[in-house]
Structure formats: structure tokens, C-alpha cells
Amino acid sequence: MPDGWSRSLDAGQLADRRTDIDFSIPLAQLARLAPQLAGGAGHAKGRAAFVREQGLAVVDLAVEAAVPLTCQRCLAPMVWPVASRARIAIVADADAAERVAPEFETVLAPGGRITVGELVEEELLLALPIVPMHADRADCGVSAAGERAAEETQKPFAGLAALLKGGAGPDEE
């Protein structure tokens, strides 16, 4: 069942049977995430473990992914690593959601039906930065504009050389 993550499933039934679902989902096939991707490669991997807790259908979701994004400072590709773990209560309507204990995230699932893909996509979207940028500014522009960056770093040395030639330093006083 290679695409089990995209099937509509009955969360209550999965919880009562304590079903574990291992998944490997191509990131490009997650419709809401796809427009943010800087490339088609990459998978979200992990496990969705369904249990019944406090009368609720709960999924213990572990997701790992290396998400290709575009740095908004230098517009070069970058990779955002995600390693998330969440306990999500699956509820049928907003009233039920209000009664869920605060230690759970909640997902509204009309009729109690969900797909593992939806749960994983929601976790990934929560884990991604609103404005992705290279964490270290020194990484910016290295891959996309490497030559230009190298030229710019040489300029200060050229200026220093001219200064030394002129001999107009503060040492003359």
C-alpha cells in the first residue's frame, strides 16, 4: 500500500485498533506545501500511531523531513530540517475541539475521517518559518551569487593597498 497516506481513514477505528502507519510522503504531493518548495525532491517520513485517550481518537505523530525552501534574503535554495513530534486529538466539530485537554493539538475532521497526508502536511506547515532565511548570514549568496560575493570581499583589500601606497597614515604625526 505505497500511497496509504492519501487514503481517507476512520480515525476512531484506527484508535480502537491501536493502528500504526509508517509513511514516506513526497513533499511535492502535499498540495498546500508544494507552492513553498524550492525543488521537487524530498520526503516526509515518520509514523502515525493511533490510540484512544480520554475517549478521544488521538494520533501520536512523528515527522522528519528536509524541506527545500528559498531564502528570502538571497533567493538561493536552502534546506529547513523538520523533526517534529505531536499528539493530535481528532475531533468531529468545533464544540468537541473546545473540550480537548490542552496537552493535545486538535484537528477538525468532519465525520472523523482523516488522511495521514493531511496530518503530516499540517505539522510541516506549523514547523516552517514564515520568512525562511539562511540561519548564518555568511551562507547567503554563496551558491547563487558566489562570484559577485568574492569580488566584493576583495574591494576592502584593494582600498587598503591604495592607502598604504599613499603613505598618508596617522603614523606620520
Residues that bind Zn ion (CB under 5 A): 71, 73-74, 134, 140
Buried residues in 65-77 as b, exposed as e (16+ CB within 10 A): bebbbbbeebebe
User: Given its phi and psi angles, is residue 32 left (phi above 0), alpha (psi -120 to 50 degrees) or beta?
Assistant: alpha
Q: From the CB of 67, what's the least distance to Zn ion, in Å?
A: 15
Q: From the CB of 68, what's the least distance to Zn ion, in Å?
A: 13
Dist. CA 128–CA 125, nearest whole Å = 5
Q: How many CA atoms lie within 13 A of 18 on its CB side?
A: 1
Q: From the CB of 76, what's the least distance to Zn ion, in Å?
A: 5
- Cβ proximity to Zn ion, 13 vs 143, nearer residue: 143
Q: From the CB of 128, what's the least distance to Zn ion, in Å?
A: 16
- Cβ proximity to Zn ion, 75 vs 163, nearer residue: 75
HEC per residue, 57-91: EEEEEEEEEEEEEECCCCCCEEEEEEEEEEEEEEE
- Cβ proximity to Zn ion, 49 vs 74, nearer residue: 74
- Cβ proximity to Zn ion, 48 vs 74, nearer residue: 74
- Cβ proximity to Zn ion, 52 vs 134, nearer residue: 134
E strand or H helix that includes residue 108? strand 105-108
Q: Is 134 helix (H, G, I), strand (E, B) or coil?
A: coil
Say if residues 7 and 115 touch (Cβ distance below 8 Å). yes
Q: From the CB of 149, what's the least distance to Zn ion, in Å?
A: 11
